[in-house]
Structure 1
Amino acid sequence: MIHVAIQIIAFQLLFLLVYDVFLKKETFFKANRWYLLGTAVLSFILPFLKIDALRERIPEQFFITLPAVLIGNNGSQPGISEITLDAVTISQTSWNWITIATWIWCVGMGIALAIFLLKLFKIQKLRRAGILRERADFNLIILPNTDVAFTFFDTVYLGDQLSEVQQKSILLHEQVHVTEKHTYDLLFFELLRIVCWFNPLVYVFQHRMETLHEFTADARVAAQKSRKEYYQELLSQVFQTEKISFINTFFNHSLIKKRIIMLQKSKSKNIFQLKYLVLIPAVCAMLLYTSCSDESKIEEATVQDDGEVMTKINELSEAIMKKGNLTDEEAKALKFLATEATPDAKVYESVQEYLDVSNKAEIPFAIIDKVPTFPGCEGMSNADAKQCMSQKIQAFVAANFNTKVGNNLGLTGRQKIRAQFKIDAFGKVVDLRVRAEHEALAEEAQRVISSLPQMTPGEHDGKQVAVLYALPILFEINE
């Protein structure tokens, strides 16, 4: 979703640049109004539009696929057999960055909504304090002891301190806001401000729309009376202004200069409407980006690959059931296929290469006389000693692993850690290697495993030998 939010902001920025460079100074007020509304909505739709035809027409030489990197190290030595211990699962409840960001967004929306409701309450309070005078096309409310002037929906609010001449001129202006239903435009952007309070471009969109509304109303009024007279009215009056973002205020001091400049402009030539065609390549570029950055293709390919693998597995299962018993070599090959690949595992080009190497192993774990023994697991058979050792190491790692590491990294979900170490001929942990996606997790796992107590070393043919162990650790962080 973060990628989608970034796309929305980028698209809005491009639409605003097109508006400011090509359209803002033209007198196509109605077209500009639809441009601002349409592009604001379009910026939220485009990130979800994926056109496969655009992606398929791009030549493959424009795509760069990086080769897979395999990091392999056999790590086997004569007299050493690897024992894979049961996985250690460590659970933790954590406030990750996604959770924190979601809470911040919700709190921000709550604050923005509260401000919006406060503005509505303020308008309602003014309505109750005023005197209602119904007109044919709109409602007029006279506010006591003030000289404000603004429009909200089909109601015009005027202060009673305005003269009759001033009220007449203002009503002509505000009536345009009523008939054109400008309040709906501003409320639309107000709702966007609540949801996207963190996006400054939404505020820019609303300000551009507010300015456009004033240009539209000024053009209508100037067509009905002398422009010189209207200029003088704008310049001579200094009134209070209600600071509410979704009402149309008549006297906004920051807009007076812009309104006069726009009134002085002659009507734009129709040929200049071709500027709106700039929107076509801009939208096409956005569609090209969203279509080519679509990750669904990767997911679809993965699903197809998984389906092909499942088909092969089903065929293999049927062949095994038909044959019945497997030879020792076939059993080894099947075990190899079911073995989980690890970053430090040896990479075999074929099953036969694996069989050739495994058949040359000097001391298979299955025939070792005595496996290393964890303190408290003495006097057991090899199978029981291995199970006891797995349970002891699980308890030790779970008890000593610092789960606060996940908070510092902002992790979520399941993190996999792969450790490999030897119990040497003296019963000590040596040659420890740890693999993890995050270095801090690897360092913490290395610290814990290094602190394992000294054990009784393994024995074979009356000699103490080193034994290689693999320990998978699953670090689960619950949101």
Structure 2
Amino acid sequence: MLHYILQTIAFQLFFLLVFDLFLKHETFFNWNRFYLLFTPIASLILPVIKINSFKQLVPQSYVIQLPEVILNPDANTLQTQLLPTVYLKNSTSFWSWETILYLGVVVAAVIFLVKIYRLIKTIVNSYKNEENGLTIVTIKNSTTAFSFFNYVFLGDCIPKHTYATILSHESVHIKQKHSIDLLLFELLRILFWFNPLVYMYQNRMVTLHEYIADALVVKHQDKTTYYQNLLSQVFDVNHISFINPFFKQSLIKKRIIMLTKSKSKQIHLLKYALLVPMVCSMLLYTSCDKEADNSESTEMKTSEEQLQEKIDKLMEENPNVKIEISDVESTSDVDVEVPYSVVEHPPVFSGCEDVPTAEQKNCFSGKISQFVGQNFNTDLATTLGLSGRQRISVLFKIDKSGDIKDVKARAPHPELEAEAIRVINKLPKMQPGKQKGKEVTVPYVLPIVFEVQE
């Protein structure tokens, strides 16, 4: 979930930067409205879309990434998941980040319901009348002016000469269903209460709504008079995020500037075509992305490049030997590494020999997971005073004799690296991988996450 949240925030940040740099000052208000509605939703959907054809455009890594292992030292059972990370938990705690996340959602939902209650209470307790198909709610002793769906809230202290202008303005909000836009962002604010970009999106949408309403109203009345109406009011606006306020001091200057701005040239519509390459790039990223420790595997060269280098080296040392990627030939004294995606017969863990070929991969992964779970010293959490998630990535190879070699680890703490190396070095002898009937070396990467909960 954390990986998904980070991707969502990154995509929204990128979309907002593009809007502020290229689109915000254009007078294509309806296009901007579509952009501000589409991009936050796209940011939520794109991380879960995986397109296989996109993945094939990017060469596969040279090593095979093993499934994750979830270890709970407080329990006697081992949990194994087909995910690219190993989790080691030394204890359980109510105050995990997931709990705080869900608690924040509940609080945000309660705040939203309180706002709705206040709005409904205002409607019920105020004088109401129908005018041009709208429900006018009169608020006593106030200069407030805002709308919510089919309701227009107007203070009884608003000057009579501005009444018609304000009503026309709020009518635009109602006819164009602007309240639906703002309620969408309210929902996002509840689910992603911790994400400041959602609030920024909503603020930009509120401003855009005012631009749209202003632009349509001034078509039927004098602009100068409209400016004076904006500037002469005593600003009194309820601080409710999902209403469309007429008087909002922070927006007055922006609205007047936009009203005096010349219409954008039609050629500038091409800016919105930026959405196509942006979305395609994000789809390419999410289709090829692996949540756990892709950094280690991406540091390596692609399987074709890595294998080709070894083949070139072997050909220099053995000019009479013909070697091809698809037809690896080797002598007993030549050690050739073959990536998991290429090797015809991958290594077999002890005990998986009699398992059907189609199930040997799962058997291998399960045995590795079980071994790590039984041998990793989870007491290191207490000894080292660790907290939170400690990510470890282990690289190792199963050589042509079936032995483990070249074990390397990367972790935030040296003792975690040493423990991971110790455990992997204890793996039993296996049946080596074979290519064209010859034993070969096969590399692997095993990510581990040591989750310490107090």
Match of 1:199 among 179, 195, 198: 195
Normalised TM-score (structure 1): 0.60
Q: Give secondary structure in 2 for the equivalent of 1:157.
A: strand
TM-score by length of 2: 0.63
Closer/same/farther in 2, CA of residues 295 and 222 from structure 1, 3 Å limit: same
Q: Tell me which residue corresponds to 1:118.
A: 114
Q: Is the 8 A contact 2:143 2:157 kept in 1?
A: yes
For residue 244 of structure 1, give the secondary structure of its aligned residue in structure 2.
coil
CA distance, structure 1, for counterparts of residue 105 and residue 385 of structure 2: 26
Q: Give CA-to-partner distance per residue, 1:165-223, whole Å, 9 cap, x none.
A: 22211101000011001001001001100110111100010001000000000001111
Describe the shift of the 1:146–1:317 C-alpha distance in structure 2 as closer, same or farther (beyond 3 A).
Answer: closer
Secondary structure at the aligned position of 1:203 is classed as helix
Q: Do structure 1's residue 265 and structure 2's residue 261 form an aligned pair? A: yes
Pick from 126, 130, 134: which aligns with 1:134? 130
Aligned to 1:108: 104
Number of equivalences: 331
How big is the shift at 1:271? 1.7
Of 270, 277, 280 in structure 1, the residue corresponding to residue 273 of structure 2 is: 277
Where 1:133 maps in the other structure, the secondary structure is strand
Question: For residues 77-92 of structure 1, what are the structure 2 equivalents within 5 Å?
Answer: 91=75
Letter in 1 for 2:44: F
The separation in 2 between residues aligned to 1:156 and 1:339, in whole angstroms, is: 66
Aligned: 1:409 with 2:373: no
* Letter in structure 2 aligned against 1:123: L
User: What's the % identity of the aligned pairs?
Assistant: 43
- What CA distance in whole angstroms lies between the structure 2 residues aligned with 1:307 and 1:205? 53
TM alignment of 1:309-328, pairs within 5 A: none
Query: In structure 2, do the counterparts of structure 1 residues 340 and 250 end up closer, same or farther at CA, with 3 Å as the change threshold?
Result: closer
- 1:440 offset after TM fit, Å? 6.2
Aligned twin of 2:153: 157
- Give the C-alpha shift of residue 409 in structure 1: 3.2
Counterpart contact for 2:387–2:453, Cα < 8 Å: no
Equivalent residues of 1:55, 1:288 under 8 A apart: yes
In 2: Cα distance, 1:286 partner to 1:436 partner: 28
Kindly report which structure 2 residues correspond to 1:35-74, keeping only aligned pairs within 5 A, or say none: 35-58=35-58, 60=59, 65=62
Find 1:209's aligned residue among 201, 205, 208.
205
- Cα 1:305–1:187 change in 2 (3 A) is farther
CA shift in 2, pair 1:339/1:38, >3 Å: closer
- The question of whether the paired residues in 1 share the 8 Å contact of 2:388 and 2:453 is answered with no
- TM-aligned CA deviation for residue 126 of structure 1: 1.5
> How far does the alpha carbon of each residue in 1:103-157 deviate from its partner, in whole angstroms, 9 at most, with x for none?
1111211221121111112212211221110123211111111111110111000
**Residue in structure 2 matched with residue 470 of structure 1 by the alignment:** none
For the Cα contact (< 8 Å) 1:18–1:279, is it kept in 2? no
Q: Aligned runs of 1:50-449 on 2, under 5 Å?
A: 50-58=50-58, 60=59, 65=62, 91=75, 94-95=91-92, 100-294=96-290, 404=382, 408-410=386-388
Note the residue ranges of structure 2 that are not aligned, 5 or more in a row: 66-72, 76-88, 298-338, 357-366, 391-408, 420-449
Structure that is richer in helix per residue = 1
**Contact 2:3/2:291 (CA < 8 Å) preserved in 1?**
no
Tell me which stretches of 4 or more aligned residues in structure 1 moved more than 3 Å: 63-68, 89-93, 294-298, 301-318, 338-343, 401-412, 435-444, 475-479
Q: Which amino acid aligns with 2:157?
A: Q
Give the whole-Å Cα distance in 2 for the aligned partners of 1:183 and 1:440. 56
Q: C-alpha separation between the residues in 2 aligned to 1:476 and 1:215?
A: 50
Structure 1 residues 478 and 159 mapped into 2: Cα distance closer, same or farther (>3 Å)? closer
1:70-96 Cα shifts (integer Å, max 9, x gaps): xxxxxxxxxxxxxxxxxxx76487236
Instruction: Classify 1:106/1:310 alpha carbon distance in 2 versus 1 (closer, same or farther; 3 Å).
Output: same
